[in-house]
């Protein structure tokens, strides 16, 4: 949720897509922002993305506008599923790089590659984070959040919080 309240530029860019769709001649524009603040990890329901899939399947969607196409789906499986449904329904996929008709093999190639590369990029970032954490742990520098009432001392030991009120409450 902090990203939703603190990163307003990204939201503004997303809402500007509605104006771009209207300027392109789409008579009816629907902004789906139900998933703001929800994780894309796959363990959280995403009613906005599910609604998007349903609208595409209805055959009444001319185009899906997105800032970064693969981020719309947040994982490769969902992204490729969306592309498949857009191809079946004749729905265009439009991002800042262009407009793609997934029914055409060449137009399907680039969005597919974008999705695959996005997934690979996330995997690399995850691997780097894990390697950095493990390296800090091996050198004894790894710090993690303690339960309330405990903290790191100046010499790197776990101790009861020096705040007397907190320490008394814990005791």
Highest mean predicted confidence (pLDDT) among 12-21, 78-87, 149-158, 160-169: 78-87
Biggest CA–CA distance in the chain, Å, is 69
Instruction: Decide if pLDDT at 42 tops 80.
Output: no
Residues 73, 77, 79, 82, Cα dihedral to 10°: -110
Q: To the nearest whole number, what is the mean pLDDT of the chain?
A: 85
- Identify the residue with better confidence: 137 or 37: 137
Q: What predicted TM-score, i.e. pTM, was given to this entire model?
A: 0.70
């Amino acid at each position: 949720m902090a990203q939703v309240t603190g990163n307003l530029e990204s939201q503004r860019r997303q809402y500007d897509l509605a104006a771009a769709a209207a300027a392109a001649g789409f008579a009816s524009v629907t902004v789906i922002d139900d998933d703001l603040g929800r994780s894309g990890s796959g363990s959280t329901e995403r009613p906005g993305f599910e609604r998007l899939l349903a609208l595409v399947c209805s055959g009444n969607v001319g185009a899906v506008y997105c800032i970064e196409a693969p981020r719309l789906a947040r994982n490769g499986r969902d992204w490729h599923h969306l592309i498949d449904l857009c191809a079946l329904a004749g729905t265009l996929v439009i991002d800042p790089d262009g407009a793609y008709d997934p029914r055409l093999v060449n137009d399907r190639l680039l969005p597919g590659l974008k999705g695959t590369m996005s997934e690979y990029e996330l995997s690399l970032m995850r691997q780097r984070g894990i390697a950095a954490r493990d390296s800090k742990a091996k050198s004894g520098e790894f710090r993690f959040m303690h339960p309330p009432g405990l903290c790191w001392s100046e010499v790197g030991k776990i101790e009861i919080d020096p705040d007397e009120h907190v320490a008394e409450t814990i005791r």
